[in-house]
């Protein structure tokens, strides 16, 4: 059973009816912009699609049913930080990590045959999401025998919301960067009773899992990621392979055409937060455009996500008022020193590069920057692979971590 000390408490989200009524009233009162004829998605979120989505959000979407479905996951609040937290001030963001924070976490215990080595995994989400990213894979990973898998592949699954995301507290002081969050997750895994564990991530979570492996190599048995982030190098690009130089050029082109959101979130997140915090239609536009652009949906976002799934993600942002603190993390990460970005991961590293993801790195770069032991290229799935293709994603993790199950975990 999970630790039941006062600092670890079971958690159930209960939304007040007046919060839902306020949301619906705001949706119905949306003041819509115009759009050029036949613009579609070429200039950003398609007006006609968003009108349809917002109308459903206001009068068809059943948030209480979605909230009840999420409540079936084993969810907790864990108190971290404060004066008794380990002093990790040597890393960027270390002092901020000492702030007392309540962290929302899904913690599902493995259902496995007696005597089977159980490996804990911490799954690190990104933006624009939360624990929602992994909601579909938690039961597949914790209880594979109930879902057509081998019970011996069961994991203890830990999925925390980063500070300022979802149901976790937002920092009162400076926003934590990915380095600081990695230190916080190391503390979280200790609190949950795990000395050693595997780290998993995508998007911002890819960086968090990377820093877990860099800063806590004695505790991380292996790290699995779905991307390597955007390329960065302080060296001479002439030293890179042709494939790596092509990747750098492709990432630059992608940033020019798709990276406007990141530029404003890095530099002026607070200005953006005023509009997104006040307008649920604006919030939906900002998020759904990324769900469409980054998923393996062929331009039709509802090939990857149903309306209910999209709106569950967006409604979590709206009700927890987490869009402002979540986008401020871009500014915090932009201030991470270049020396941190250039560190090589020596912990065994694996990558699943899903076919529909963006800015997919070449093997040469992965070998340059990590102790690479595995690369796979699943034919389906995009940036949100754990949600888009949960069975495929769960199998990727089972296969990758199987050799590390013999490592001591407590």
The DSSP symbol for 238 reads: G
Kindly report the CATH number assigned to the domain that includes residue 346: 3.40.50.1820
pLDDT for the residue numbered 319: 98
399 located within any domain: yes
Instruction: Specify the DSSP element, H or E, that contains 307.
Output: helix 307-320
266 located within any domain: yes
pLDDT digits (tens, 9 = 90+) for 354-398: 999 999 999 999 999 999 999 999 999 999 999 999 999 999 999
390 located within any domain: yes
Confidence band for 99, pLDDT divided at 50, 70 and 90:
confident
* Residues in the chain, overall count: 410
Range of the domain at 106: 8-32+40-231+238-404
Q: Enter the tokens of residue 52.
A: 């349809």
Using CA atoms, how far apart are residues 98 and 29, in angstroms rounded to an integer?
42
Classified as helix, coil or strand, 105 is strand
pLDDT for the residue numbered 410: 41
pLDDT for the residue numbered 117: 85
Q: Please check whether residue 382 is in contact with residue 297, taking contact to mean a CB–CB distance below 8 angstroms.
A: yes
Q: How many structural domains is the chain composed of? A: 1
Average pLDDT score over residue span 307-328:
98
pLDDT > 80? residue 91: no
Confidence band for 90, pLDDT divided at 50, 70 and 90:
very low
84 located within any domain: yes
194 located within any domain: yes
pLDDT digits (tens, 9 = 90+) for 33-59: 999 999 999 999 999 999 999 999 999
410 located within any domain: no
pLDDT for the residue numbered 327: 98
Average pLDDT score over residue span 291-302:
98
Q: How open is the CA angle 312-354-167, to the nearest 5 degrees? A: 30
Q: For residue 216, how far is the Cα from the chain centroid?
A: 20
258 located within any domain: yes
């Amino acid at each position: 059973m999970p630790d039941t000390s006062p600092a670890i408490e079971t958690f159930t989200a209960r939304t007040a009816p007046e919060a839902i009524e306020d949301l619906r009233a705001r949706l119905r009162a949306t003041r819509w912009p115009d759009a050029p004829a036949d613009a579609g998605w070429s200039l950003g979120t398609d007006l006609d699609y968003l009108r349809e989505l917002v109308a459903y959000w206001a009068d068809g979407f059943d948030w209480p049913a979605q909230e009840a479905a999420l409540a079936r996951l084993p969810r907790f609040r864990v108190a971290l930080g404060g004066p008794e937290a380990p002093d990790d001030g040597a890393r960027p963001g270390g002092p901020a990590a000492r702030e007392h924070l309540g962290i929302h976490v899904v913690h599902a215990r493995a259902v496995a045959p007696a005597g089977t080595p159980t490996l804990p995994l911490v799954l690190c989400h990104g933006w624009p999401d939360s624990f929602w990213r992994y909601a579909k894979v938690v039961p597949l990973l914790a209880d594979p025998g109930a879902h057509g898998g081998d019970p011996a592949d069961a994991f203890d699954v830990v999925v925390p919301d980063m500070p300022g995301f979802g149901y976790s507290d937002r920092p009162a002081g400076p926003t934590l960067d990915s380095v600081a969050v990695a230190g916080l997750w190391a503390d979280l895994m200790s609190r949950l009773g795990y000395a050693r564990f595997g780290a998993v991530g995508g998007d911002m979570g890819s960086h968090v899992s990377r820093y877990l492996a860099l800063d806590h190599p004695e505790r991380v048995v292996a790290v699995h990621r779905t991307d390597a982030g955007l390329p960065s190098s302080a060296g001479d690009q002439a030293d890179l392979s042709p494939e790596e130089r092509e990747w750098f050029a492709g990432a630059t082109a992608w940033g020019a055409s798709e990276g406007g959101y990141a530029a404003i979130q890095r530099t002026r997140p607070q200005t953006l937060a005023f509009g997104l915090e006040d307008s649920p239609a604006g919030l939906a536009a900002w998020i759904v455009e990324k769900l469409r652009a980054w998923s393996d949906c062929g331009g039709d976002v509802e090939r990857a996500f149903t309306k209910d799934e999209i709106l569950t993600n967006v409604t979590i942002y709206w009700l927890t008022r987490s869009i402002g603190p979540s986008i401020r993390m871009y500014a915090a990460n932009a201030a991470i020193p270049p020396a941190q970005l250039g560190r090589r991961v020596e912990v065994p590293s694996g990558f699943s590069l899903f076919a529909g993801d963006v800015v997919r790195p070449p093997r040469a770069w992965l070998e340059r920057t990590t102790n690479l032991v595995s690369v796979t290229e699943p034919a389906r799935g995009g940036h949100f692979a754990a949600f888009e293709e949960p069975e495929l994603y769960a199998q990727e993790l089972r296969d990758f971590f199987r050799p590390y199950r013999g490592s001591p975990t407590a």
